[in-house]
Amino acid sequence: MILLLAALLGILAQRTGLCMVKSVQRLRTRQPGLLIVILGCGVWFWLATPVFTDTPWSKGITRYASTWPFALGGGLFGIAAAFNQGCTLSTLTALSRGHYHMLATMAGWVLGWWWLGWLSPVIEYQSLGGAHPPPWWLIGIAAVGSVLIIWRLAPSHRRIYAGVMVFGATAGVLGIMEPSWSPSQLIEQVSTRVLTGRLPWPDMQRVLISIALVAGMILAATPRVSWRQYQSGPTRWAKHLLAGSVMGVGSALALGGNDSQLLLALPSGSPAAALALASMIAGIWLGLAIEQRYLCRKKAL
């Protein structure tokens, strides 16, 4: 069941084009719908997990107070994700479509985590205890409001936004069974183990979940660029390596990238997750503006 849910999650991520960078691009053109639906994934999490109190998820999540590492980490992650043209999950969906330079992004994540760990800065995080669900009446109002808004959209948008909602619910059920399901958490633990030996090896179930997730992405990837068709130069690989490194530093400071913030920390009621996501959105907006200005100047020359 867990592997089937992971594969379904990969298919939904690929088919819906779930990406915070894309949602902020639309926000810049006054189309906030996709961003609102993505941020509302937590609503569908709670609707799918009514018995959360007796699950490993509720015991494995820690809420944190809003402090500067979450603002700085979220901002750095957002700027780098804009230059990467994809956040955490969308990096994997792009890779499964044959955009092989995203391998450089993933290598950058490891470098960023290692670099920050090597510096060992003194950072204090204020814990607020375990998961704290919102009132059920608030969840119900948000859910009904989301459905009504989506129903009024054009059919093409309605299908995508409904897919994002199903994604949130599926991630919620998967989170009950395995709180640390996200591939970025797996890569971080493996790289930390290899580089420092501080953490244990992840169990096989988490490895199989990531494999099933990527398999779902590959299965749903259309069109897909073959290795023979793929063309890219060293400049592009270097750009994504640098962007991935900054994303790694940012996610380490904020205790998670946008996937864990959206699908785990924010539904738990963590104020730090709200600050980190707001900073990510602001960082993506700034990164997109910088890149757009650079391209305009390059075109003018």
What is the reported pLDDT for 196? 72
- Average pLDDT on 44-66 reads 65
Asked whether 298 and 213 are in contact (CB, 8 A), the reply is: no
Domain boundaries, the chain: 2-300
Model confidence at 58: pLDDT above 70 = no
**pLDDT score of 102:** 93
How high is the mean pLDDT of the chain?
83
What local confidence, expressed as pLDDT, does residue 54 receive? 55
Model confidence at 288, pLDDT cuts 50, 70, 90, reads very high
pLDDT at 139: 72
Widest distance between CA atoms in the chain: 62
pLDDT of 253 strictly over 60: yes
- Cα dihedral 91, 240, 115, 257, rounded to 10, equals -30
With pLDDT > 90 as the criterion, what percentage of the chain qualifies?
Answer: 34
More confident residue, 108 or 51: 108
pTM of the predicted model as reported, rounded to 2 decimal places: 0.87
d(CA 210, CA 2): 11
Which two three-digit tokens encode residue 21?
């960078």
pLDDT score for 47: 67
Is residue 50 predicted with pLDDT exceeding 70?
no
> Per-residue pLDDT averaged across 255-266, rounded?
84
Predicted confidence at residue 118, as pLDDT, reads 80
Which pLDDT band holds residue 267 (cuts at 50, 70, 90)? confident
Distances (CA, A) of 79 to 47, 86, 110: 32, 11, 18
Residue 260 Cα distances to 26, 73, 101, 288, angstroms? 22, 14, 23, 23
The mean pLDDT of 265-294, rounded to a whole number, is 90
Average pLDDT over residues 241-257: 92
Give the Cα-Cα-Cα angle 264, 170, 19 (nearest 5 degrees): 70
The confidence score (pLDDT) of residue 272 equals: 93
- Does the pLDDT at position 162 exceed 70? yes
Distance CA 70, CA 36 (A): 21
Cα–Cα distance between 194 and 262 in angstroms, integer? 28
pLDDT of residue 281 exceeding 90, the answer is yes
Encode pLDDT of 17-48 as tens digits.
Answer: 778 898 899 889 888 878 887 887 767 767 66
94-147 pLDDT, tens per residue? 999 989 999 999 999 999 988 887 887 888 899 887 776 667 777 777 777 777
